[in-house]
Amino acid sequence: MSDATLHDAKQDPDDFAVQIADQVESFIVAVTEVAKGDEPGSAIPYLLLEVSQLLLAGGRLGAHEDIVPEERYEADTGPEPDDVDELRERFAVLLDPADVYSEVFDPYVPRSEPVACRISDDLADIITDLRHGMAHYRAGRVTEALWWWQFSYFSNWGPTASATLRALQSLLAHIRTESPLDELDGLDTDAAAAEDGSLEEEAGRVMAEEIAAPLGLKSARR
């Protein structure tokens, strides 16, 4: 199935596979456009919307019965796109200094310790998973594509997208309610955080000056 026939009018728009593929492709295209940085002021709200919509597709895949591939072994999808690292770097620049956040890997593991994550890494990883399935879909291996998207939803891109959504939503909530981060200790993946309380002050300054203003966001109440 080529790009030209991916959205052929003869395809049933009510078909489950077509709907999932449309949502996946829409996310890939939209988020890749955001990474270009042409509209940095709307990047975070737009990413919040796109990740939310993608998770709707993920929820449908998760609720669906197990999809069994037709072949015993997965067909070769060819070389992976070579722009993933560039996307990751673009997101890191675009989202700085709010790229790093804290997440609990598995909420059902007792006394789980939060780990530092990066939204830029998450988005690049999600796109990599989705593209892999899309390669199968475009080659006409629809069941294989659905199997991959469902499997990787549970094993990787689903949890990653859920964590990313939480981070984006929390970030916007902090900005619009003028509520500085309580602390940044543990959120720096590259260096140890200071222990003198300066990070709390810096967090408030970052939110007010470097994030909210460029995004054009104002608090709900003065």
DSSP tag of 196? S
- Cis peptide upstream of residue 214 (ω within 30 degrees of 0): no
Three-class SS of 67-109: CCCCCCCCCCCCCCCCCHHHHHHHHHHHHCCCCEEEECCCCCC
Q: Which of 8, 20, 10, 7 is nearest to 144 (CA)?
A: 20
Q: Give pTM, 2 decimals.
A: 0.76
Burial zone of 143 (CB within 10 Å; 0-12 exposed, 13-18 middle, 19+ buried)? middle
Q: Give the Å distances, CA to CA, from 88 to 52, 209, 215.
A: 20, 24, 20
**pLDDT (tens digit, 0 to 9) for every residue of the chain, 222 residues total?**
433 344 444 567 669 999 999 999 999 999 999 999 888 888 999 999 999 999 999 999 999 999 998 887 888 877 777 899 999 999 999 998 889 998 887 888 887 888 889 999 999 999 999 999 999 999 999 999 999 999 999 999 999 999 999 999 998 888 787 766 654 444 554 444 334 434 334 444 444 454 555 544 444 333
